[in-house]
Chains A and B, each alone.
Chain A
């Protein structure tokens, strides 16, 4: 790939998903794009980029964007935050909502492991919170990821990363070489394609948002804008969980860290969105 090809790719990916493609990682770029080029009938990646440049084919540009998104995820990734969700967030919200829906959103959740981890926690805590109603939503930008998430089918490798064996036994069945999540847990999550760069207001208000290991791929301006929009969707007593390597500090004043809960943020009541 020539530097100008990489430039075209970077621009189209950033415009669609906000993700910053590192031009230094040529091997990574080529290994991800090669299958797309082949699938779309091009002899090489530069030939595909040329077609993008000339025809601005929307579907092709999305395919390239999709290929460049980071899909790395795992069940119960950074376990502590899921325990906080089960032991602190849900009990507090169950009490204050008194039967009104607690809306929980797993944003940019890739192939769904995070959303289903939350569902398994809800399932576990339910007997202790009679009357609580939890509505779980999972979203990603990638159709490909959403399809897999909805299928609830995971490889042996995937179910061995983060999922305790007792939960595998409780919630999964073997399906040939894969493992299939029980319909009961699958039905707890509703799926939707959401672009975090778009207007998020139509999604409504949430008591809990998990948006982990997504905003770290954005540039500073985009990160700030997305975090402020997410803060704007949070209920006054809601929680936003970010990834282990991510922080909202020094990015925006819309959020403040929840005491004693690393990576968890709450709305800053003193913050007024400039011009939303």
Chain B
């Protein structure tokens, strides 16, 4: 089964996202910031990462840049999932190696559409 790492400092968001993503047939794991996420990836690289932008310790964009430099770090499909919804942020995310971008708030329709865009669902 494919694994999706859900990275968000809000426990509630992680829970909501997990429930939706598990319905798509993914295993899920959680991390509360970029540093935790990086530790996770160094142990077991997931197939997909849902990534918040603003988090303590290490934010989403710094995590992403670091991830893409790690061995095997180019393989996970990364979907940003953030309240940042201006073109500057979206462009920065894409240039840093994000595959898709979800603007909060999201629901299962949006999540499904974005997972499909990113090639994670047929």
Contacts and interface: CB of A to CB of B under 8 A. Distances in A.
Nearest to B99: A165
A169 interface: yes
Nearest to A161: B113
Given A160-B110, A161-B110, A174-B86, A169 B117 contact: no
Given A156-B103, A160-B102, A164-B117, A169 B87 contact: yes
B122 to A, nearest CB: 10
A182 to B, nearest CB: 12
Contacts of B114: 160
A27 interface: no
Contacts of B91: 169
B30 interface: no
Q: Which of B87, B90, B102, B117 has the most CB of A within 10 A?
A: B117
Interface string A139-180: 000000000000000001100111011101100011000000
For chain B, give the interface size range.
Answer: 10 to 19
A162 B101 contact: no
A165 B87 contact: no
B85 A162 contact: no
Secondary structure of the A contact surface, majority rule:
mixed
Contacts of A174: 85-87
A162 B109 CA distance: 10
Nearest to A177: B85
A206 B86 CA distance: 39
Contact of A165 (B86, B106, B109, B117): B117
A169 B90 contact: yes
Contacts of B87: 169, 173-174
Contacts of B94: 165-166, 169
B20 to A, nearest CB: 14
Interface of B: 85-87, 90-91, 94, 100-103, 106, 109-110, 113-114, 116-117
Given A161-B110, A169-B90, A174-B85, 16 more contacts: A74-B113, A156-B85, A156-B103, A157-B110, A160-B102, A160-B103, A160-B114, A162-B117, A165-B100, A165-B101, A165-B117, A166-B94, A168-B90, A169-B91, A173-B87, A174-B86
26 contacts: A79-B116, A156-B85, A157-B110, A160-B103, A160-B106, A160-B110, A160-B113, A160-B114, A161-B109, A161-B110, A161-B113, A162-B117, A164-B100, A165-B90, A165-B94, A165-B101, A165-B117, A166-B94, A168-B90, A169-B87, A169-B90, A169-B91, A169-B94, A173-B87, A174-B85, A174-B86
